[in-house]
Amino acid sequence: MNSRSWYGYWRHGKHPSALIPISARSVGGACCRPGWKHPIGNLEWFNFYWMISGTMRLLVDDQLFELGSQEVLVLEPGRILEGTPAIADGEYRWMTLDGELAGQVIASLGLTPRFRLRSGKCPQELFDQLELAVQEVMPGSEYRAGVLAYEILVLASAGVAGCGERGRQTVELDQALRYIEQNYTSPALSVKSVSSEFGINRSRFTRLFAEAFGISPSSYIGNLRFRRALLMLRETALPIADVARSCGFDDPGYFTRMFRRRMGFAPGKFRKIM
């Protein structure tokens, strides 16, 4: 983490040149102290913040957001970011995102703009790698930066269901959540199997889960599986079919198609880029 109060690195070129669903335009971090103000302006891209520690205040269209440790926030283009003094120490990482499908990708992960989410420990190593990738002027560097940004979003989305701010949670829903997290690598796990396990009608379970956690149970299961797949593709040399099955995808062909739909390219190319 850079020791300056606020810093950033920008992509070479204002517009994304690679045909990828989401592109990292800039990335950086900040260590704020009482009285410090965040840079202001009209947002032209998606802004993403992940708190490391302490607190940070943002005034967006006259609405005050106060982020705490391990919380994330997404702001969409068109918002006005105004300065407001920090009231305590805080440290965070940030990135801005664009690309033809950036909004769709963010929405598909359940990351609702202007809603604070508790997503766990900030993946600083990924942010460090993203800072280097954004500055590179090499073949494939923009792909690599986009992939790293997407990985950060996937990690954030996997913590969405733990925030408990969107709606009323029940003991049954909390138990269902834990059950999903413990069993998502099994291809047998589905929304139907989870709802049956807890004796809840599937449609009702889907509605209650989405109201409580801000994301559908099928999307949450898919995000957990995809997060594990990205990690295994990066850190192991297992065949892609074995990675797919280890993450709960019983059909490697479907996994490849899903991967291509989300990332814009196949798992094999992901390995080459990373």
- Whole-angstrom distance, CA of residue 160 vs CA of residue 178: 13
Whether the predicted model's global pTM rises above the 0.85 cut: no
- Cβ atoms of 119 and 71 within 8 Å: the answer is yes
Across the beta sheet with 6-10, the strand order is: 6-10, 23-32, 90-98, 46-54, 71-75, 117-118
- Whole-angstrom distance, CA of residue 165 vs CA of residue 15: 36
Q: What is the pLDDT along the chain (274 residues), one digit of tens a residue?
A: 544 689 999 998 888 876 778 899 999 999 988 988 888 899 999 999 999 999 999 999 989 999 999 999 999 999 999 878 888 899 999 999 998 889 988 988 878 888 788 888 999 999 999 999 999 887 678 888 998 999 999 889 876 544 444 445 577 888 998 899 999 999 999 999 999 999 999 999 999 988 887 788 998 899 899 989 988 998 899 999 999 999 999 999 999 999 988 887 899 988 887 7
Q: What pLDDT score was predicted for residue 13? A: 82
Q: What pLDDT score was predicted for residue 262? A: 83
For residue 186, give every residue at least 6 positions away whose Cβ sits within 8 Å of its Cβ, in sequence order, or none.
Answer: 248
Q: May I ask the CATH class of domain 159-274?
A: mainly alpha
Q: What tokens does 165 get?
A: 């701010």
Q: What pLDDT score was predicted for residue 211? A: 83
Q: What pLDDT score was predicted for residue 18? A: 67
Q: What tokens does 184 get?
A: 């998502």
- Cβ atoms of 39 and 110 within 8 Å: the answer is no
Q: What pLDDT score was predicted for residue 265? A: 83
- Would you kindly state where each structural domain of the chain is located, as residue ranges? 6-142, 159-274
What is 6-142's CATH topology?
Jelly Rolls (2.60.120)
Q: What pLDDT score was predicted for residue 46? A: 96
Q: Provide the b/e sequence for 1-21 (b: ≥16 CB within 10 Å).
A: eeeeebebbebeeeebeeebb
CA distances for 25 relative to 19, 73, 199, angstroms: 14, 17, 46
Q: What pLDDT score was predicted for residue 4? A: 60
Q: What pLDDT score was predicted for residue 159? A: 66
Taking CA 45 as the corner, what is the angle to CA 85 and CA 211, rounded to the nearest 5 degrees?
80
